[in-house]
Chain A
């Protein structure tokens, strides 16, 4: 290393600069630092936005989506999600006389008949095929005693694969059939088989019929759509589909969110409040009072919580099938506060022994000053985390109880009771379970992620390692 060649003035003594002695970085308050950390946690921030959106949906949703959640559209039962669908207005079907032919010459039914029946030919629709009805007619088959009609949602591969047996004609003279059985706007494959009572025609022909979505004139009137047969109207949209009673699922989810989020947010607030007061008293006084008060929480923790939620309801005289939102709230608060109480007690006991509190006490601080200046600010972080994690627990409890029919009962929807109803028809229309389930999961997920973020941001001791 080359020795340094000093310049003039290099070795002039300078006064020590006190300003340099202190830490040059600006110090941040606890909350500033916490907010900074939370903002860096993308997942927590996104969750926070989603929670705000969910709460907004609950509050202003009914104004934005003005469908009556209780309106039952029995023509649109368990419809999958659809938006802006149009339908053809058709005349009210009335009673269709069908098509008959002169009775064919009766062929003696021969049990050893070797001659087999021919396949039914020329199956065609009468009028337009719509979701209101599909009317079929076909050419008579010699030797037929009656006809069987099948419907399938794909082209049959064999005579074993004809699909749903819709029915049969009474006589061979009837060569028509009207299908009004839960038709959807899609393509159907119809098969008509002639039968002589002993055997069915071995061969078959299938006709593919595209079915158009339609409503009848009188249904259009019911919905206050002024339209005549032949018009095309835009149907009410069901972005989440409809349930098994033809009610709009989105409207019900919005209404259900009022129950689910009400219980999910209000109950934890109340129990955290109760637990804070209880735990604060217990921790502040300590000693025998503390020991006795904590024994109570020991017992409460040992209670089988969900069973007692049910017991509470029964105790209140609310049977299954009856709604009990307030009792559920009350029971939740009474059975769930002990966790918070323990947290606050531990925190208070710990802070009480901290040097800064001892110092404040020595300097003559009053109890109230100690509580408000030292205890509460040092407890509020963990409490906020505790509250955030309590909310998913309350939402789950509501969902669980409603699911087993011990929570919110029809007609009031909650996400839990809607899931319960959806589960029954899950195999045919999964969306009825899926949408309420997604909302429960999303809410629980966001609160959990926010809780994680808050814990990381607020409490260095509880900080999880990510």
Chain B
């Protein structure tokens, strides 16, 4: 694994002002993205994973959104707090982005070709004709058949999978270093999912792309990711290499997520759920955000928020404290083996 850090996010915090009060959607999030690797951010709906990456590109409406702390550096250059004009030098050009629902993420009244060509014209200063040629090349690269005909079509004439390919073509058009894929396969059926993931993998290899992959699907993580950050209630609760996360899970939430993953074997016919629901981010509870759902909750967890323990493999759980009883760790180990 290359150790060159492309994108470095430290202590990011984002909140939203709503009519019921302010929501702390992202709290103290830090991660590094290394060149040519994939970082997966995993978590259930509403845990703040999308907000985190959209904040990097200034895609969060402000107000109501507000960055309260933190920094994000692309090769050392700060992204947060840039004016829209300055940010436009990064958006689409050095950082590409793919969204979950390609059908709604594409302008319905503009042809696919025009939408892709637009970035080329704006960022690369291409002529319309040159941009058109490039669009054909790009569409070919993402394996869309008959690109000359397809580029004249509108989004509603595309199938979901084809549209996601077009979306990928759009995001990589200007040869970005970083690609942010926000649940790129969630809206697609399984065979198409596999094709899209394969496409992303091959693009990563051929272009040396660094990818931030947002998903709630651990299967996708297992297949794509080099590193994983597990998010819960606006915080990263566990972070490490994909092996760390899968084989040496250190946080009860990660263990729960794994248990909830549908397995291939037939004997696990009933999916295990994590009881309860995420805490109310209007007023985060005292102590650990997971305490109400955690099978190993201790006295300390209800009063004191845990810090991140560990160095390369980190977990935000009191069980990782040196003084925590081994018995709890043992229970957890049992739990992870059972899953």
User: CB distance B307 to A10 under 8 Å?
Assistant: no
Q: How many interface contacts (CB-CB < 8 Å) are there between A and B?
A: 63
The answer to whether B294 touches A6 (Cβ under 8 A) is no
Cβ of B78 within 8 Å of any chain A Cβ, yes or no, is: no
The answer for the CA separation of A12 and B318 in the assembled complex, in Å, is 12
A-facing residues in B51-99 (Cβ within 8 Å): none
The reply on B152 being an interface residue by CB < 8 A is no
In the complex formed, the residue of A with least CB distance to B324 is: A11
User: How far does the Cβ of A35 sit from chain B's closest Cβ, in whole Å?
Assistant: 15
* Per-position 1/0 for A417-450, Cβ under 8 A of B: 0000000000000000000000000000000000
Q: A1-B307, A23-B280 are in contact. Are A10 and B300 (CB under 8 A)?
A: yes
Once the chains bind, are A14 and B307 in contact (CB under 8 Å)? no
Contact between B280 and A6 (Cβ–Cβ < 8 Å)?
no
Q: Which residues of B contact A13 (CB under 8 A)?
A: 296-299, 328
In the complex, are the beta carbons of A11 and B328 less than 8 A apart?
A: yes
A11 near B280: Cβ-Cβ < 8 Å? no
CB proximity of B165 to chain A, nearest CB, Å: 32
Bound complex: CA of A25 vs CA of B277, how far in Å?
A: 13
Please provide the chain A residues from 3 to 31 with a CB less than 8 Å away from any CB of chain B in the complex: 3-4, 6, 9-14, 16-17, 20-25
Which residues of B have CB within 8 Å of A4?
Answer: 304, 307, 321
Q: Is B292 an interface residue (CB 8 A)?
A: yes
A3 neighbours in B (Cβ, 8 Å): 321-322
State in angstroms the CA–CA spacing of A17 and B295 once bound together: 11
- A28 CB, min distance to chain B CBs, angstroms: 11
- Looking at the complex, which one of A1, A12, A25 makes contact with B298 (CB distance below 8 Å)? A12
Q: Is there a chain A Cβ closer than 8 Å to B302's Cβ? A: yes
Instruction: Name the B residues within 8 Å of A21 (CB-CB).
Output: 275-277, 292-293
Whether the pair A16, B297 counts as a contact (CB closer than 8 A) is yes
Given contacts A6-B323, A11-B325, contact A20 B299 (CB under 8 A): no
- Does B285 touch A at the CB level, under 8 Å? yes
User: Is B156 in the interface zone, CB < 8 Å from A?
Assistant: no
Judged by a CB distance under 8 angstroms, whether B282 is at the interface is yes
Number of interface residues of B (CB under 8 A): 30
Which residue of chain B lies nearest to A1 when distances are taken between CB atoms in the complex? B307
Given contacts A10-B300, A11-B318, A12-B298, contact A25 B293 (CB under 8 A): no
* Size of A's binding interface in residues, CB under 8 A: 19
Q: Closest chain B residue to A8 by CB distance?
A: B299
Closest to A9 in B: B299
- Given B277, B297, B321, which contacts A6 in the complex, CB threshold below 8 Å? B321
- CB-CB nearest in chain A for B309: A3
CA distance A40 to B20 in the complex (A): 12
Q: What CA separation (Å) do A112 and B242 show in the bound complex?
A: 123
Please indicate the chain A residues that have their CB under 8 angstroms from the CB of B296 in the complex. 13
A430 to nearest B CB, angstroms? 44
Contact B292 A17 (CB under 8 A): yes
- Asked if residues B293 and A10 are in contact (CB atoms below 8 Å), the reply is no
Residue contact B277 to A16, C-beta cutoff 8 Å: no
In the bound complex, how far is the Cα of B288 from the Cα of A4, in angstroms? 14
CB < 8 Å: which of B282, B293, B299, B324 contacts A14? B299
Residues of B within 8 Å of A23, CB to CB, are 277, 280
For the residues of A in contact with B, the DSSP-based class is: loop
* Complex contact B328–A16 (CB within 8 A): no
**Interfacial chain A residues near B283, Cβ < 8 Å:** 24
Q: When A6-B321, A25-B280 are in contact, do A16 and B294 touch as well, CB less than 8 Å?
A: yes
Name B304's closest neighbour in chain A (CB-CB).
A4
Q: Write out the residue numbers on chain A whose beta carbons fall within 8 Å of the beta carbon of B275.
A: 16, 21
Chain A residues, CB < 8 A from B301: 14
Cα(A25)–Cα(B275), bound, Å: 19
**0 or 1 for each of A337-364: is its CB under 8 Å from B? (1 = yes):** 0000000000000000000000000000
* Complex interface: chain B residues within 8 A of A6 (CB): 300, 321, 323
Q: Complex formed: what's the CA distance from A40 to B276 in Å?
A: 33
Q: Judging by beta carbons under 8 Å apart, are A16 and B298 in contact? A: no
* Contact (Cβ within 8 A) A16 B293: yes
In the complex, residue of chain A having the shortest beta-carbon distance to the beta carbon of B292: A20
Known A6-B323, A24-B280, A25-B282; contact A11-B292, beta-carbon cutoff 8 A: no
How close is B173's CB to chain A, nearest CB, in angstroms? 32
Looking at the assembled complex, report how far the CB atom of A39 sits from the nearest CB atom of chain B, in whole angstroms.
Answer: 12
Residue-wise, chain B 216-236 has the 8 Å CB interface mask toward A (1 for contact) of 000000000000000000000
Nearest A residue to B302 via CB reads A14
Chain A, 120-138, CB within 8 A of any chain B CB: none
Q: Give CA–CA (A271, B294) in the complex, Å.
A: 57
Which residues of B are found within 8 Å of A22, using beta-carbon distances?
276-277
- In this complex, what residue of B is CB-closest to A10? B300
* Complex contacts, B293 vs chain A, CB 8 Å: 16, 21
In contact, A16 and B324 (Cβ under 8 angstroms): no
Q: Which residues of B contact A25 (CB under 8 A)?
A: 20, 280, 282
Which residues of B are found within 8 Å of A10, using beta-carbon distances? 298-300, 304, 318, 323
Residues of A within 8 A of B298 (CB): 10-14
Least CB separation from A13: chain B residue: B298
Cβ–Cβ contact B277 & A20, under 8 A? no
Q: How far is the CA of A79 from the CA of B339 in the complex (A)?
A: 91
List chain B residues, Cβ under 8 A from A16. 275, 292-295, 297
User: Which residues of chain B from 253 to 308 have a CB within 8 Å of any chain A CB?
Assistant: 275-277, 280, 282-283, 285, 291-302, 304, 307
Q: Which residue of A lies closest to B298 (CB)?
A: A11
Tell me the bound Cα distance from A10 to B19 in angstroms. 37
A24 and chain B: residue at smallest CB distance: B280
Measured between beta carbons, the chain B residues less than 8 angstroms from A9 are: 299
A40 to B324, CA, bound (A): 50
Shortest distance from the beta carbon of A421 to any chain B beta carbon, whole Å: 48
Q: Are A11 and B300 in contact (CB under 8 A)?
A: yes
Bound form: Cα–Cα A155–B102 in Å: 78
A24 to B276 CA separation, bound complex (whole angstroms): 12
Least CB distance, A460 to chain B, in whole angstroms: 13
Q: Would you list which residues of chain B between 178 and 193 have a CB under 8 Å from chain A?
A: none
List chain A residues, Cβ under 8 A from B323. 6, 10-11
CB nearest to A15 among chain B residues: B297
One digit per residue, 1 when the CB lies within 8 angstroms of any chain A CB and 0 when it does not, for chain B 312-332 equals 000000100111110010000
Looking across the interface, which residue of chain A has its beta carbon closest to that of B20? A25
In the complex formed, the residue of B with least CB distance to A23 is B280
Alpha-carbon gap, A22 to B19, bound state (A): 21
13 of the cross-chain contacts (CB-CB < 8 Å) are A4-B304, A11-B300, A11-B318, A13-B299, A14-B297, A14-B298, A16-B275, A16-B293, A16-B297, A20-B285, A21-B276, A23-B277, A25-B282
Interface residues of A (CB under 8 A from B): 1, 3-4, 6, 9-14, 16-17, 20-25, 40
Give 5 nearest A-B pairs by CB, closest first: A21-B276, A10-B300, A20-B292, A12-B299, A6-B323
Other A-B pairs beyond A12-B299, A25-B20, A25-B282, 14, CB < 8 Å = A3-B322, A4-B307, A6-B300, A6-B321, A9-B299, A10-B299, A13-B298, A14-B297, A14-B298, A14-B302, A16-B292, A16-B293, A20-B285, A24-B283
